[in-house]
Amino acid sequence: MNLAKDKAKYLRGKGYSYRMISEELGIARSTLSNWFKDQPFVPNKKVLNRIQYGPIKSAQRSHHIKVLEIEKLKAVGVKELGRLDKRDLWCLGLGLYIGEGSKSNETIRLINSNPAVVKLAIRWFKEVCGLENKNITMAIHIYPDNKEKECIEYWSNVTGLPKNNFRKTQVDRRTGKLSRKKGKLPYGTAHITIVSRGDPLVGVKLYRRINGWIVGALSQA
């Protein structure tokens, strides 16, 4: 019996798997299987640990690969989009308003909880609709586990709106809904409402213009 087979037999007798013996001695697993197929085998602690944690490590590797792919494709998407010009902003904000804005009672209102989306809406109202801070009010809707002052501070920082632009905070105390939402919206939901301050061009007339943009966009879609 050659020296390699002696070493392999010793390791197999100590409970090592074909894979581990192959990694240690460089012998093909098919050869090891042929040598020891009739030899009783009791796996040792190292083999059992590898069996137990192998799927976890495999899952971790798969997750790592997935994360890398997500980041790579995200970077590709950012590059493909490029920089937004004013018309891009107009269409992007209009799409946001179609999805999240009010279309009744001739009231301009938009609701969202994503800070990036809310920030985009404020920019759209200012740069496309020609509004100023005085025309933009906000009310936040929160749950009992939210802290009102922290939420107002947060949304003021996100939007650049002064705190005196914030209306009365609404607290949702419905117990069934609270259990589903607890912890998911740490700063609540922002409700943006446009006020005319006596200027009809940024009140009802602006609402009707926005409605015209929507009709024009959807008729061409």
Name residues whose C-beta falls within 8 Å of residue 32's C-beta, 6 or more positions apart in sequence: 8, 12, 18, 21, 22
The token pair that represents 203 in the structure block: 């009140």
How confident is the model over 102-147, as pLDDT tens digits?
Answer: 988 899 999 999 999 999 999 999 999 999 999 999 999 999 989 9
Which pLDDT score, from 0 to 100, does residue 180 have?
A: 58
Strands ordered across the beta sheet of 136-142:
109-112, 189-194, 136-142, 170-171
Which pLDDT score, from 0 to 100, does residue 36 have?
A: 84
Q: Taking the model in full, what pTM does it have?
A: 0.68
Q: For residue 50, name the pLDDT band (cuts at 50, 70, 90).
A: confident
